[in-house]
Amino acid sequence: MFYSDKCDKELRFGDVLKGFISTTPFIKEPILKIPHNDYKIDIQLPSYCVVLSPCCSIKKNKIDKQILLSPLIQIIPSFFNNQYFIDDLTRINRTMNPEQTVARHTWEALPTEQKQKRLEKGAGYAFIELFIYEPNDYFPKYIVNRKEGNIETGYYMIDFGNTYKINCEALQEGQEETLLEAKLWQLSVKSRQELRDKITCYYGRIPEEDKALMGD
């Protein structure tokens, strides 16, 4: 089960919300001199967003009234090129064997040496920066345009690199009813752990140059 059959009265990591704006600042270069007005801020109201603040941090931040969010966006059409994904796009949320991370024809076309290297690394994530959300009663379906034929789907996803912070008075004690109106879905314990595992892997990757200095 991807979603929980009931929602808590408090916000949880992975919750689906509505009604929270997103802001993105744009600059040409670092602002090193003040005053400086060569920037702009894009403000949007995504249909849905996901809580990326850890559960425990949300409770602590009721004083600061801050929360970290990521907008839910439409999936990538190329997902449907991979037969392993077509049956269940949430498989992208979990580790898989190397040959399952790419389309069958792509794997078969790889040189033997590359296949062997990938097989030696063992199971891992595909699309390390993405987490897929199952269709539900709130998510409107949309058309994914493909050369092989269009597909209607209700899957959405978040990108760990696309996050933003927002301050909200309703995060204070005593405002639970207001938050419940904005909270649409809560992940099951299993799904929330999958999200936690993948985002931990995303931020926990060690670059090759650091591995060399660390003696790995």
State both tokens at 170: 């309703």
**pLDDT (tens digit, 9 = 90+) per residue, 158-213?**
999 999 998 888 777 666 677 788 999 999 999 999 999 999 999 997 777 777 67
Bridge pairing between strands 183-185 and 73-74: unpaired
96: Cβ contacts below 8 Å, ≥ 6 apart: 84, 123, 124, 125, 126
Q: In this structure, what DSSP letter does residue 189 have?
A: H
Residue 17, pLDDT score: 95
Percent of the chain past pLDDT 90, that is, above it, reads 59
Beta-bridge mates of residue 143: 152
What is the pTM assigned to this prediction? Answer: 0.90
